[in-house]
Amino acid sequence: MLRPQASCLSAVLGMNPAPRKETKLAMINVNELKAVDVFSAFSDNQLQELVKITKRRTYRTNAPIYKQGQPATELFIIRKGLVSLRGLKSEDKIWVAFDLCEPGDLFGTASLMKSRVYTLTAVCLEETEVLAIDADKLSNLLHIDFELGYMFMNKVAQLYFDRYEAATKELGFPVAASKAAP
């Protein structure tokens, strides 16, 4: 099924949207999800439930997957391609790149937070295939099994701390200062 999605550039310039292609649920299998680190603690039965709430999508180069400020309804995993996570500094109208996501990377975790609003824009740098997971249904699965929910959120927290640490090192800021013993 084709749905129109505007690229970031075309959205800013008011140009025609670029389509995305969505593939039905049945084409995703447990092994695809099992290969993703944050789902490594899930059992085969839990992964089968996850398959039911996951869609495969492909996007063209420069097409957004979501935009900053939109309601955050899905969590994404890149299967192939590259995605830039960017923020718009409204006072300067300048896009700032915050992260580059590659195959296997998870993004769109704002969908799991209380505010449920995407804080960045995700733009495809090349033709990209993602797995899109319904955040409400994932949240329900995680609430049913508290231990699983804890393990999953712990992995997501570690993932984002690692991204934060990498970004601060790249910018030359220390992540944590330690004092030597006197």
SS3 159: helix
How high is the pLDDT of residue 26? 42
- Interatomic CA distance for residues 30 and 147, integer angstroms: 20
How high is the pLDDT of residue 121? 92
Instruction: Identify the CA nearest to 164 among candidates 155, 154, 151, 174.
Output: 174
CB atoms within 10 A of CB 59: 24
Residue 178 belongs to some domain of the structure: no
How high is the pLDDT of residue 8? 37
How high is the pLDDT of residue 118? 94
* Full residue range of the structural domain in which residue 134 is found: 2-171
Cα angle at 154 between 151 and 156, to 5 degrees?
Answer: 110
Residue 84 belongs to some domain of the structure: yes
How high is the pLDDT of residue 66? 96
Residue 181 belongs to some domain of the structure: no
Residue 179 belongs to some domain of the structure: no
Domain count of the fold of the chain: 1
Residue 182 belongs to some domain of the structure: no
Cα angle at 99 between 27 and 13, to 5 degrees?
Answer: 85
Residue 21 belongs to some domain of the structure: yes
Q: Which residues of the chain have pLDDT under 70?
A: 1-26, 89-95, 97, 171, 173-182
Residue 107 belongs to some domain of the structure: yes
Residue 14 belongs to some domain of the structure: yes
The domain spanning residue 149 has which CATH number?
A: 2.60.120.10
